[in-house]
Amino acid sequence: MTVSSHKIGGPQGAAALILDKRIDITPLLHGGGQEKGLRSGTENVAAIVGFGLACELAVANKNTFASHTSLLRDAFEQGLKVIAKDLNIVIFGDKAKRLPNTSFFAIEGIEGETLVMALDRKGSACSSDSTEPSHVLLAMSVDKDLARGAVRVSFGLNNTLEEVLGFLTALQNETARLKQLTAIAA
């Protein structure tokens, strides 16, 4: 398992690799011989210290984080259900115990990457790593086309309810625009 520092508010460029010692790995970069030959290069001590502090803060604030972000996630998903009156929106895992800060959804007939790019152009902080459908959703027997439309939204301590409402407005507007383009193309 790899844990990136910046994902918990620490500096970029530091991470932890948690590895079962029974598993052999081959380094991508050779030289130096640090970490029993698995890593080369000089350690970024300042980033490592910052990562350690971010870990301490994350543990100390985990209850606050969970309650704040689950409130935002739930408000977001309620808003999705309101704007879904004209759309088929699926919220994956909404009945399961899950991370408090994350919502994973799809809108039937709209590719996730297209939606993410449209929202990014409107100023929402969005990114997409792959055009392939989630292997997890496929393993859950979710239709491949619906899985291709999946979008994950994550919330943090610094997010506000006003930002969630603004994002929902942008999502509703961009979804309507994309649906209109799809209708014209058909």
Tell me the catalytic residues: 126
Q: What is the Cα–Cα distance from 68 to 48, expressed in whole angstroms?
A: 27
Considering only CA atoms, which of 115, 110, 85 is closest in space to residue 179? 110
Q: What is the Cα–Cα distance from 146 to 71, expressed in whole angstroms?
A: 26
Considering only CA atoms, which of 89, 83, 86 is closest in space to residue 183? 86
Which amino acid, one-letter code, is at 115? L
